[in-house]
Copies of this chain bind each other. A is one copy, B any other.
Amino acid sequence: VNGPPKDALGDVDVETFRREAHRLVDWIATYLAEPERYPVLSPLAPGDVRRLIPTTAPRSAEPLARILDDVPQAVLPGVTHWNHPGFFAYFASSASGPGILGEMLTAALSVNGMLWKTSPAATEMEVAVLDWVRQMMGLPEGFFGVIQDTASASTLVALAAAREAVPGLDARRQGLVGQARLRMYASAEAHSSIEKAGIVLGIGQDGCRKIPVDDTFRMDVAALRQAIDEDRAAGLTPFAVTASVGTTSTTSIDPVREVAQLCARERLWLHVDAAYGGSAALDPGMRHVLDGAEAADSLVVNPHKWMFVPLDLSVLFTRRPDVVRAAFSILPEYLRTAEETAAPNLMDYGVSLGRRFRALKLWMVLRAFGHEGMAARIREHIRLAREFEGWVRADERFEVMAPAPFSVVCFRGGFPALPAGEQDAANQRLMDAVNATGQVYLSHTRLRGRLALRMAIANLRTQERHVRRAWELLQREAGRLGA
């Protein structure tokens, strides 16, 4: 035997792993029990973390204990704590205990569910659990679900399928050069991932027409109809519309039913971006937000946003899985199996061949909370947003800047001593001031050219006192800044 000594190879010693993993579990449990222990927004400056990390990898092995002991000084100061109950920025993503258990098992098994055969449980649990989600959202039978990493990927896949579905256009084989000039539509408030998908797919930003919104930030369907007519008259080929259920800035809900009727008449693929808002439909009292979405060709919803599953897990539902498969399936000999006609190979429904066993965490979370528990949490977040909105409306120094159909409130302060041109900067200072406390983290957007702060409530650990604290801080800092 001329190989190296056996003890230098294989994995780290299992008992050492066991000891350190137990220690890490205790740290995680304490972290989850004290979610306000660290400032929500990392106070570090660019380069601070990098300076703590050696510039080259260690030559020799280091003990696991030492590596984990480095986490508090090398990692945590640079973490913005998405699990902090004062996280009100963007859309929340919070890790529930059951979700973390699911991730632990996923990491340990580390299967690649690219083919049914390479882990039947990964494929079949994904199909089964996504059908749970479909039912919980009130979507009809016939929607097939497949997990992607993020909504950006789900939307890319959906719009690739839409492109594939264009009659007479064999984009898969021939590409787009020399073909009809495609056009797709979304509102001016739609998420940037739609435009990004247009770029990737070779349609280009010019092929992505933005439709104006009404005074409540909803797509103007008459303007959509006119745009389609104009484009057809100009020799372009409309092929897809993305309607949003919960836009990123204000969470406005496009009139999906009317858009769907127009898409049916015009034979356009309807994709619904419900990445954030779709989860609300888990509450039967909020089902109406998906009115019309039953006619969609595809719909994206992100359990890693408002279903308390750790990143990443986005679900693409589609009534036309055959078209998605036609757009993406490539089966070289080395991936052929005897089962390919009896069971789906989920690699055929997206860009990525390798697929983590992501369904496990969703299975655990949905069981641990139950449908009623999921709905109760979502309902509570919406209730808290209504409370907050009420406080803002009751304070004459502030204004609410958009309807809040879910759990996000857009608002801003008014600074009477300042000219109109400096109101934005003052609100930016207001946001920076409350964020600097480490107790809350809000982000902003721009509405009709004016800066707006967003109070986005969807963190699993947020309670009424956290929302109240955010409001106190906003009032205090607004006062200091002369609101």
| Contact between B383 and A3, CB atoms less than 8 A apart | yes
Instruction: Give the residue name and chain of the B residue nearest to A83 (CB).
Output: B110
| Contact between A199 and B78, CB atoms less than 8 A apart | no
| Contact between A202 and B370, CB atoms less than 8 A apart | no
- Answer whether residue A128 sits at the interface, using C-beta atoms and an 8 A cutoff: yes
CA distance A22 to B366 in the complex (A): 21
CA distance A446 to B333 in the complex (A): 6
Beta-carbon contacts of A1-40 to B below 8 Å, as 1s and 0s? Answer: 1111010111110111110111011101101110000000
User: Could you say which residues of chain B place their CB within 8 Å of the CB of A56?
Assistant: 132, 135
Task: Give residues 305-359 of A contacting B (CB, 8 Å).
Answer: 308, 310-312, 314, 327-328, 330-335, 339, 342-343, 351-356
| Contact between B124 and A53, CB atoms less than 8 A apart | yes
- The residue from B95, B109, B352, B460 contacting A82, defined by CB atoms under 8 A apart: B109
- Answer whether residue A50 sits at the interface, using C-beta atoms and an 8 A cutoff: yes
- Distance in angstroms from A50 CB to nearest chain B CB is 5
| Contact between A18 and B25, CB atoms less than 8 A apart | yes
- Distance in angstroms from A69 CB to nearest chain B CB is 12
User: Could you say which residues of chain B place their CB within 8 Å of the CB of A363?
Assistant: 53, 67
CA distance A422 to B278 in the complex (A): 54
- The residue from B82, B108, B173 contacting A32, defined by CB atoms under 8 A apart: B108
- Distance in angstroms from A448 CB to nearest chain B CB is 12
CA distance A201 to B156 in the complex (A): 11
| Contact between B135 and A174, CB atoms less than 8 A apart | no
Beta-carbon contacts of A25-65 to B below 8 Å, as 1s and 0s? Answer: 11011011100000001101111111001011111111010
A3-B380, A42-B121 known; A136+B57 contact, CB < 8 A: yes
CA distance A463 to B118 in the complex (A): 22
